[in-house]
Structure 1
């Protein structure tokens, strides 16, 4: 890869790296896994950057690579034994003047999202990113109509998880 291409990649990546962090947040449950997935997605983006033709926006391509990498690693990890890092265990001291309702709701939402299958996670993630259905369909490689149908089903699953 030449110097100009390398600089172009770094510039594009820096502008859009929050996409990778958001994908990592959806597909991981602890900081170490987040770092590992971030690194793997970054490597895949770097390895495939020369294949990026510019047919879509860089961010759309980045979503696609990030989600495909996360889904691939997620599927591999479901074959291993789940453990919990002791640093993930939080001990809270209750405070009467702090209202953590929004924080609890957000944690409940992420917990519910973690229970979805990998495609539904991707759909919900892109929806929460306020992506139009056209871009969602391009990112996931499905038709726009299929994206809408799958989205409605994923939302229904989330509702059932959050309000059994």
Structure 2
């Protein structure tokens, strides 16, 4: 069976942006299984929307917008209907298992602080950590650059407060 040009193009885009998608999944889900489920749901929604993608915006901007919307919707759905208790040992908290290295404790503390943020605030942090400009953030989130500046300042203050509490 031949693979269409659109399919090949989509797969190439997803492969190129896979680290970004995985970071979004880690930001919104603690358990590895939930991260995998969210990743699959994001890719499915991207595939469904791909025929309507127009190159007016950068692909990464389009991808961010869809991925963040799916992640936030998924989180809201999971918090409305908690998963039933599972048998066996509990899955480890991914945020509590940072990469090894000299800053592992700092990274774990940062993830714990980020976990306390709202869905939308997490999106701001993710975009900031991805070194997106305020202009790109505004495009992705559908708000003005001025609003991005204000919200980023508030999120940074909130994170500082959480980090001092955790210290």
Q: TM-score, normalised by structure 1?
A: 0.88
Considering only aligned residues, what root-mean-square deviation do their CA atoms show, in Å? 2.0
Choose from 71, 82, 87 the match for 2:91.
87
Matches for 1:1-164 after TM superposition, within 5 Å: 3-81=4-82, 86-88=90-92, 101-164=102-165
Partners of 2:146 and 2:93 lie apart in 1 by 42
TM-superposed deviation, 1:101: 4.8
Q: TM-score, normalised by structure 2?
A: 0.86
User: Kindly tell me: are residues 12 and 72 of structure 1, through their superposed partners in 2, closer, same or farther at Cα, counting changes over 3 Å?
Assistant: same
Unaligned runs of 5+ in 2: 95-99
| 1:93-147 deviation digits (Å, cap 9, x = unpaired) | xxxxxx9551111111111111100110000100011000000010011101001
Partners of 1:101 and 1:108 lie apart in 2 by 13
Q: For structure 1, which segment, 75-84 or 61-70, has the greater mean C-alpha deviation from structure 2 after superposition?
A: 75-84
Partners of 1:37 and 1:150 lie apart in 2 by 26
Deviating 4+ runs (over 3 angstroms):
81-85
TM-superposed deviation, 1:63: 0.8
Partners of 1:135 and 1:87 lie apart in 2 by 35
Secondary structure of 1:88 counterpart: coil
Contact 2:61-2:140 at 8 Å conserved across structures:
yes
Partners of 1:80 and 1:46 lie apart in 2 by 26
Unaligned runs of 5+ in 1: 91-98
Partners of 1:89 and 1:153 lie apart in 2 by 27
